Amino acid sequence: MAFDDVSFTVAPGEVFGFLGPNGAGKTTTVRTLGTLIAPTSGSASVAGIPLTSNNGPEIRQRIAIMPENPGLYKRLTVVENLQLFAGLYGQRNPGPRIGEALESVNLTARAHDLCGNLSKGLRQRVGLARALLNEPAVMFLDEPTSGLDPVAAHEVLDLINGLRQRGVTVFLTTHRLDEAERLCDRVAILNTTLRSVGRPDELRERLFSRSLVVETLAPLPAPDAVFGPTTGVESWRPEGPSSYVLTVDDPRNIAPHVTRALVSAGADVVSITESQHSLEDVYLQLINDDPEAAAR
């Protein structure tokens, strides 16, 4: 079974990240929602249409899927590739729509180039232009920056941001957690079963206690006497010779109390900062703490 016990809702206009290790079932989920694979059980609605075997063409008319490999006809020009897909979406006079799609990915000048002669980054852009042709309500992007150099990846990410501004719901499958953190309103972490769904900051808060990192010029002679009575400090632990991690509820409001306590104790404060956990920390925590996945 590729995935099981997965349930979530994506709001219109949202950029939703779908994260998980290789073999977690991300691509299968996208293919199932895109009506390419029939589910063995369960139910779903895509773009407001129930996912049934009869509704496949109707759903596919309202969505766009860009697979990891854009799959362009290399012997056809960019515009010929787009003409084919405009025809498949039933557009009778596709010229203006194709022009708009090419303009939105900055490819107007390359419209008559053979796709076989384009770089990988440009092909990804053609794939995005193709996905824009039917003005989809939902766009599924599977690893859109895979194999791209940083500049090309940055361009693709800007284009995805542009989609958000156009009100397109984006379902983004990616391995790049920094990308997901930058782009996504919410993320889901999948490892065959759904591990969690939420905003990146919300997941951080749920998984990691908030803390302040205090660094002093010299080790404190009695740190417990300094941090123990300070308002809002739940616990503390040393991290290095003159560095301490304090578990707190509200770092922003507790930091002044800690500063005052340190100054009263005669300590030379170098820095007091809020400890930051990345989406990567969240991801690793969830994936590593998955006993079922470990047993598989």
Residues near other proteins (CB under 8 A) are 5-11, 31, 34, 36-43, 52-53, 57-58, 60-61, 63-67, 69-76, 80, 83-90, 92, 127, 130, 185-186, 193-199, 202-203, 206-207, 286, 289-290
User: What's the min distance (Å) between Cβ of 227 and other proteins?
Assistant: 25
User: What's the min distance (Å) between Cβ of 159 and other proteins?
Assistant: 18
Nearer to other proteins, 95 or 256 (CB): 95
User: What's the min distance (Å) between Cβ of 29 and other proteins?
Assistant: 13
Nearer to other proteins, 10 or 272 (CB): 10
Nearer to other proteins, 264 or 278 (CB): 278
The 3-class secondary structure across the chain, one letter per residue, is CCCCCCCCCCCCCCEEEEECCCCCCHHHHHHHHCCCCCCCCCCCEECCEECCHHHHHHHHHHEEEECCCCCCCCCCEHHHHHHHHHHHCCCCCCHHHHHHHHHHCCCHHHCCCEHHHCCHHHHHHHHHHHHHCCCCCEEEEECCCCCCCHHHHHHHHHHHHHHHHCCCEEEEECCCHHHHHHHCCEEEEEECEEEEEECHHHHHHHHCCCEEEEEECCCCCCHHHHHCCCCCEEEEEECCCCEEEEEECCHHHHHHHHHHHHHHCCCCEEEEEECCCCHHHHHHHHHHCCHHHHHC
User: What's the min distance (Å) between Cβ of 17 and other proteins?
Assistant: 12
Nearer to other proteins, 31 or 97 (CB): 31
User: What's the min distance (Å) between Cβ of 42 and other proteins?
Assistant: 5
Nearer to other proteins, 18 or 227 (CB): 18
